[in-house]
Structure formats: structure tokens, C-alpha cells
Amino acid sequence: MRARTVLLLTSVLSLATALAPASRAEDAPKPWIEAGDIPLPEWARSVEILREDEPLSVSPGGTRRGLVAAGVRLPLLGATRGPGCVARWLLVGPLAYVCSDKVKLAPEPPGVDVSIHPTPADAMPYRYYFVGKDGAEAYAKLSDIDDETAAEQLERGWSIAGVSEVSYKGGTYVVTRKGRYIPRAQLGVIAANPFHGEAITNGTLDFGWVLPEKANVFADAKPNAKVVGARTRLQKVSALETKKVGNVSWLRIGDGAWIRANDARVPTTGPRPSEVPPNGRWIDVELATQTLVAYEGDAPVFATVVSTGRVPGTTPKGVHKIWVKLRSTTMSDADDAKETTDDSTPYSIEDVPWVQYFSNGVALHGAFWHRKFGHVNSHGCVNLAPLDAMHIFEWTLPRLPRGWDAVFPTTAEPPSVVRVR
């Protein structure tokens, strides 16, 4: 036990040093190896990932820990023998091992090129496009355009993730994440959505958002009261008081300012599930109000509007736990692991961002293809505006380390709870 404790401590210290500024990297402790094993090269400072979605394990030959993007250089912290790997398992992070058969040692320090994992201000990891009304052809290489030999025919309304645009023989082509070339003229750019939810500093849910495109503001809680103004869709409003007059419920948003209560989405406080520790981070999704509230223990810290599943794909109620987080993933009607649906309309959305699965194929994720937040609209998942999805993704547990494409919970970092009610 003592040797194991010393080994773990050495690994943690090595990780902290490896992630420190480059000026300190020369002072990093050497990676540990098992007694009597072949030493690692003196020049090796990191582990370069060669394949997309390279799997990491929690232990040599153990369960899945995460996935890493090609081109990322991870810290080299140690090496050991184990099942499932011809050479050695390399320790590249906390409870994170990769088989050396599939990677290479590198002299450069650990790092992630911005082109691999951009950090966008608009929460859109890539540039997204809709396929136009006549569909689109996707070519495997530019020379195939001359022969009109498309590798794939894309349907109207599908969306693709682009990483760049290139010119070829007078035409402009979008280069997709999959390495396909698609005529720019056959695509429409999807604009970023500026909407985002609200941080909560006073511990109370005393606000909401306007639901219709326009909501009249009345001087009193009466249908024949004077109209004194208007609020627009998803504008934040105070929620100071509710009153029912006849069959109509009213919401006071200011002094002498009332709107019809059904013109707003106002989140309500929910009790902390027993599965959440007193200071634990958890998510409360309220179907009736189409809102999401993030809590730290019993205190709400963030709230926003969402779109949950429409019938027959209603978002499942209950207390769930995040079982995997992915920076992005493709969702389609043909993939059973994604949104559950009985809808016969085919869909394909490349690189849906900030995905957190919590109930089989049901997830929290960003939705850039619609702006119907506050209304049910999904095939079962909880849709958030991209800015909100990224914020919640970075806030929940387990955290996604830089350069990783996916992360699974561990005993050291258990998952956040998602309660749907």
C-alpha cells in the first residue's frame, strides 16, 4: 500500500508540473516506470495522439475513461505493463492510460493546437451550414468534382460542420470535419445565437423570459387595462407577483407593469434530490416551464429556457446522472445511440456541440438549428442555446480535460445529477 501511495503521489505531482508553463517543463520529474522495466527515452516529454477518438482507460486494460483528438500531445507521466496492450500502457492524466501501440512519444511539451479544439466566443466549435432545398453533393477529394463523382448525397435540411473554405476551378467549397468537399452554393450558413441564460447571485428565482414575439404590458392585472408597453421574445423580465383575475393569470414585472402569465417562462424552485450531496452541482429541468436551473446544493446559480422532447419523444422524468460528456457528436434518426424518436422525418446533424448524455440516448446539448427555446421541440433531448450549453458543459462533472473529445465519470470525479420533473 505504501509503494502504491508513493507512486500515485509522484504521478499527481508529475501531472501538475507537466501542465505548468513551458519554462518549468525542464524541471518536471521523470515519468515513473516499473522496477526493472526498460527506461523511457530521455527526450520524451509528451504522448502524441495519432488517431481520432483515441480511447483512454481508467487503468491498464480497464474501463473507458475518455476519448482524445488526433494531434493532441498529452503529459507523459509513467508507463506500466498490462492486458490489452503489446507494449506498455502510458499514464497521460488522472486515471487515464493509453496503449503505446497506438500513439507515439514526442519531444515537445504537452499541448493542444487551437485548430484542433478552438474555443469560440459564440460557443460554436465549427462553422455550421444547412443543406439547401435541392440537397448537396459531398466529394471525397477535389479531383472528384471534375468527374462529378460524389461520395455522398446530402438531404435538404441536414446540417454539416465546416472547418474551412477552399477555391477550386472558380468554385468555392466547404471543407467539412469529415474531410468532404461541398459546393458552398448548395449550403446556407447558420448564424450564431446570441441568447444566453442568467447567472443567479441572490439565490432566488425571481425572473423569467418572454415567450411570444411580443407581449403587451398592462398597467393593471385586468384585460381591459391600459397598455403601457411591450416586451419581446426571450427578453428577461422580473417575476415579482402573480395574480389570478377570472380565468386569466397575471405576472407583475414592475411597478404598474403586468403581463399575462402564459406570456412568460418562469422557473420554479425544486427540492434537491437525495442523490445530491449538500454542496453538489446538479441540474433541474422543469418540463412545465421549459426551463433549466443549475444548483450548487440548495442554491440556484444559473437559469435558462430550453426545449425538451415533444410527443411521442417526451424527455424522461426522474433523477438521472451524466454518464458521458462529448465535445461534439453527430446525431441522426438512423443512430440508435442518439435522440430517441418515432418521427419519420430523416435528420442528420454533424457535430452537435456540448453533449451530456444522462439517460441512455437522451442528452443535454447545444441546438444551433432552431430558436424555439421555451417550447417543446426536440426528439427527446434537452436543447439549449449554444452559449448556455457550453456554460453548463464546463460547469458540470466530470470535467472534460483540454484536448479530450469525451470523458466518462470516475470514482474520483462522480457525475452531476440531472433531475427532470
Answer yes or no: is pLDDT of 13 > 70. Answer: no
Answer yes or no: is pLDDT of 336 > 60. Answer: no
Residue 96 has what pLDDT? 98
306 and 416, same domain (yes or no): yes
Grid coordinates 404590458 are at which residue? 217
286 and 416, same domain (yes or no): yes
**Mean pLDDT (whole number) for 225-245:** 98
CATH number, domain with residue 257: 2.30.30.40
Answer yes or no: is pLDDT of 348 > 50. Answer: yes
Answer yes or no: is pLDDT of 414 > 70. Answer: yes
pLDDT digits (tens, 9 = 90+) for 135-168: 999 999 999 999 999 999 999 999 999 999 999 9
The answer to whether position 196 is within a domain reads no
The answer to whether position 319 is within a domain reads yes
Contacts of 71 (CB under 8 A, 6+ apart): 48, 49, 113, 116
Residue 304 has what pLDDT? 99
Distance (Å, whole) CA 364 – CA 353: 10
237 and 335, same domain (yes or no): no
**Domain end marker among 76, 106, 136:** 106
List beta partners, residue 159.
130, 349
CATH number, domain with residue 152: 2.30.30
330 and 381, same domain (yes or no): yes
Cβ count near 130 (within 10 Å): 18
Q: What confidence category does residue 27 fall into, taking pLDDT thresholds of 50, 70 and 90?
A: low
**Mean pLDDT (whole number) for 98-125:** 94
Residue 340 has what pLDDT? 41
244 and 289, same domain (yes or no): no
Does residue 110 contact residue 46 with C-beta atoms inside 8 Å? yes
- Helix spans in 214-373 (H): none
Cα–Cα distances (Å) from 129 to 136, 158, 207, 351, 382, in that order, read 11, 8, 34, 11, 22
The answer to whether position 275 is within a domain reads no
Residue 7 has what pLDDT? 38
Residue 115 has what pLDDT? 86
> Rounded to 5 degrees, what are φ and ψ at 105?
-75, 145
CATH number, domain with residue 331: 2.40.440.10
The answer to whether position 25 is within a domain reads yes
Enclosing domain of residue 164: 127-189
240 and 310, same domain (yes or no): no
Answer yes or no: is pLDDT of 339 > 80. Answer: no
Does residue 298 contact residue 204 with C-beta atoms inside 8 Å? no
Does residue 142 contact residue 168 with C-beta atoms inside 8 Å? yes
Residue 396 has what pLDDT? 99
For residues 138, 142, 145, 151, the Cα torsion angle rounded to the nearest 10 degrees is -30
Residue 14 has what pLDDT? 42
158 and 255, same domain (yes or no): no
184 and 260, same domain (yes or no): no
Residue 344 has what pLDDT? 54
Residue 346 has what pLDDT? 80
158 and 96, same domain (yes or no): no
Q: Cell triple for residue 160? A: 454539416
**Domain end marker among 189, 219, 242:** 189
98 and 52, same domain (yes or no): yes
**Domain end marker among 77, 106, 135:** 106
Closest CA to 97 of 112, 113, 83, 111: 83
Residue 29 has what pLDDT? 77
How buried is residue 319: exposed, middle or buried, by Cβ count under 10 Å (0-12/13-18/19+)? middle
Bigger pLDDT: 301 or 13?
A: 301
The answer to whether position 119 is within a domain reads no
Answer yes or no: is pLDDT of 21 > 70. Answer: no
The answer to whether position 115 is within a domain reads no
Q: Range with the lowest mean pLDDT among 57-66, 112-121, 219-228, 280-289?
A: 112-121
Bigger pLDDT: 117 or 320?
A: 320
Contacts of 337 (CB under 8 A, 6+ apart): 361
297 and 415, same domain (yes or no): yes
12 and 76, same domain (yes or no): yes
**Mean pLDDT (whole number) for 362-384:** 98
Residue 163 has what pLDDT? 95
- Percentage of residues of the chain with pLDDT beyond 90: 87
Domain count, the chain: 4
Residue 333 has what pLDDT? 80
The answer to whether position 331 is within a domain reads yes
The three state secondary structure string of 60-82 is CCCCEEEEECCCCEEECCEEECC
List beta partners, residue 161.
128
The answer to whether position 273 is within a domain reads no
